[in-house]
Amino acid sequence: MDRKERVAALVDHFGNPRFKGVLEDADVAMPGGSPECGGSVVVYLRGDGNGGIDGLTWTGQGDTISMGATSIVMERVRRDGLTLQEVLDLDYEGFMDSIGRDVIGSRSRNATLGLSTIKSAVRKYQRDRRVETGQRATAS
């Protein structure tokens, strides 16, 4: 994808966000925000109890990069059927490369707001599940 196509994809995701909305029966509602960009999101996660994701949506407001990139990462996680661990293994640098460093410029926090909040939601879900099952929680 060239720069023009990456910009068009980001703008499309901003204008037509994927998987945006409140997930009413979510196990976790994780807020995230970036003072640098003024953007904020809430990620809603429902796990399947076996290391998978049964539901994942988001709400938020912010600039084109933060909201478009959040929609892009949501679409990738949902489309590819990533597990909780695979979400935690997603690489920030690789994600920014896929969006286009020439597109995001110096606004890496904007571009990774959604990804970092999804990862936080996964970690909270995993901690909460350990507590529910009586397993000893470890630092994450």
Q: What is the pLDDT of residue 114?
A: 97
pLDDT of residue 12: 97
Measured CA to CA in angstroms, residue 116 lies from 41, 119, 134, 135, 136 at distances of 10, 5, 27, 25, 25
pLDDT above 50 for 108: yes
Give the whole-angstrom CA distance, residue 35 versus residue 48: 33
CATH number of 3-127: 3.90.1010.10
Q: What is the pLDDT of residue 38?
A: 79
List pLDDT tens digits, range 2-25.
999 999 999 999 999 999 999 999
Whole-angstrom distance, CA of residue 54 vs CA of residue 63: 28
Q: Rounded to two decimals, what is the model's pTM? A: 0.90
C-alpha dihedral, 110 to 93 to 82 to 38, nearest 10°: -10
Domain boundary assignment for the chain: 3-127
* 5-11 long-range contacts, CB within 8 A, separation 24+: 6/99, 6/100, 6/102, 6/103, 7/100, 7/103, 9/68, 9/72, 10/64, 10/65, 10/68, 10/69, 10/72, 10/99, 10/103, 11/64, 11/68
pLDDT over 80 at 139, yes or no:
no
Per-residue pLDDT of 14-65, as tens digits, reads 999 999 999 999 999 999 997 766 789 999 999 999 999 999 999 999 999 9
Q: Would the pLDDT of 138 be above 70?
A: no
